[in-house]
Amino acid sequence: MKNRTKLPNIYLGVILVIMYLPIVLTVFYSFNESKISSIWGGFSLKWYEELMGDRDLKEALRNSLILAALSCSASAVIGTLGAVGMSRIQSKSKGIVEYISTIPIMIPEIILGMVFLAFFSLLGLPFGMTTLVLAHTTFCIPYIFMMVKARLIGMDKSLEEAARDLGASPVRAFFDIVLPLIMPAIASGMLLAFAMSFDDVVISIFVTGPKTNTLPIKIYTKMKTGVTPEINALSTVILVVTVFLLFLSSRIKKKQK
């Protein structure tokens, strides 16, 4: 048995290293003094300084943050209310609406980008922050909805009944009992949604306007033209933000258990 258990571990290790290698290289070369990525020219923060000085990028970062904050808040409200409401109503439309609402995370992103582009121009909406927020909210809703739904299913129904029994009105019971108990699910769903929105490229490219750039769009356009240490630095910034959000999200999830 002994040497049989070793091989799988080596396999897991090797694949893991390959999975992380590109990420580590990206981060590593963002601190490279030299402009040529395969030559190590010593440690430097100059590419980050350059980023700080770039007005366009600052604007893109600002846009990305606003976009992620707005769409994750909007989807939190819609998704939570929806999940709570759906758990209480008996209706045939329920299953259908639930199915349709999860389509955005089931189909390839490009189709979503395409349909939003076509639909928004049909509606005559001005392309820019508005269309970005609408599109991102749509694909963020399922994350929150599913997290809250799972939590509600796991929640003991008699807790709410106990509150009603002790004199709480339905609204009071919701705010005293249900909301605090689903809060971790909402929070981790929101962080996930924020991360998804913050680093989305495909959908953003289609629904953004000529004047509105987000950080990932900036990176994509730069990447097409070649490799520069600036992209490394930019990617590192996005990675750090995403990883931080993921970390928070999983911390909250763990606490909930």
Partner 1 sequence: MKKHSKIWVSVIPLYIFTLIFVAGPLIYMIALSFMTRAEVFGVVGEFTLDNYKKIFEPIYLKTFAESLKLAFTSTILIILLGYPYGYFMAKLSSVWKKRMMALLMIPFWTSALIRLYGWIIIFRSNGVLDSVLMGLGITKDPLKLLYTYPAVVVGMVYALLPFMILSVYSSAEKMDWSLVEAARDLGASPMKAFLTVTLKLTLPGLLSGVVLTFVPSMGLFFIADILGGNKVVLVGSIIQEQLTKGRNWPFAAALSVVLMIMTSLIIGIYRKVTNTKDLEGLF
Partner 2 sequence: MSEVLLDLVDIKKSFGDVEVLKGISLGIHKGEFITLLGSSGCGKTTTLRIIAGLETPDSGKVLLDGKDITDMEPHKRDVNTVFQNYALFPHMTVAANVGYGLKIRKVPKETIASEVEKALQLVQLPGYDKRMPSELSGGQRQRVAIARAIVNHPQVLLLDEPLGALDLQLRRQMQLELKRLQKKLGITFIYITHDQEEAINMSDRIVVMNEGVFEQIGTPDEVYNTPKSSFVARFIGNANIITCQRDGRAVTLAVRSENILINDPDNCPYTATVLEKSFAGGMLRVVLRLQSGEEIVASRHGINIKTEVGETVHTGWNPEHAVEVEE
Task: Give min distance, CB of 97 to partner 2, in A.
Answer: 24
Site for partner 2, residues 100 to 159, rule: CB under 8 A = 156, 158-159
d(CA 218, CA 216): 5
Which position among 7, 89, 123, 166 is part of the footprint of partner 2 (CB under 8 A)? 166
What does 169 bind: partner 1, partner 2, none (CB cut-off 5 to 8 Å by kind)? partner 2
Using alpha carbons only, how large is the chain's radius of gyration in Å?
Answer: 22
Binding mask 5-44 for partner 1 (x = CB under 8 A): ---xx-xx--xx-xxxxxxxxx--x-------xx------
Which position among 34, 121, 169, 221 is part of the footprint of partner 2 (CB under 8 A)? 169
* Terminal-to-terminal C-alpha distance of the chain: 35
Which position among 84, 129, 176, 251 is part of the footprint of partner 2 (CB under 8 A)? 176
**SS3 category, 209:** coil
What does 153 bind: partner 1, partner 2, none (CB cut-off 5 to 8 Å by kind)? none
Site of tokens 């089931």: 106
What Cα–Cα distance (Å) separates residue 238 from each residue in 10, 37, 75, 143, 210? 31, 19, 22, 20, 22
Of 117, 176, 184, 100, which is closest to residue 148 (Cα–Cα)? 184
What Cα–Cα distance (Å) separates residue 230 from each residue in 49, 62, 68, 205, 222? 10, 18, 23, 20, 9
How many residues interact with partner 2 (rule CB under 8 A)? 18
| Cβ proximity to partner 1, 129 vs 223, nearer residue | 223
| Cβ proximity to partner 2, 62 vs 164, nearer residue | 164
d(CA 91, CA 64): 38
Find the part of the chain contacting partner 2 (CB under 8 A) among 51-59, 78-86, 102-110, 162-170.
162-170
Binding mask 140-179 for partner 1 (x = CB under 8 A): -x---xxx--x----------x--x-----x---------
Which position among 57, 117, 178, 182 is part of the footprint of partner 1 (CB under 8 A)? 117
| Cβ proximity to partner 2, 106 vs 171, nearer residue | 171
Tokens of residue 125, six digits: 């909406």
What does 100 bind: partner 1, partner 2, none (CB cut-off 5 to 8 Å by kind)? partner 1
Residue 226 φ/ψ region, left for φ over 0, alpha for ψ in the -120 to 50 degree band, beta for the rest? left
d(CA 189, CA 256): 13
Strand partners, 32: 43
Find the part of the chain contacting partner 1 (CB under 8 A) among 48-56, 60-68, 79-87, 176-184.
79-87
The residues binding partner 2 (CB under 8 A) are 156, 158-159, 161-169, 172-173, 176-177, 180-181
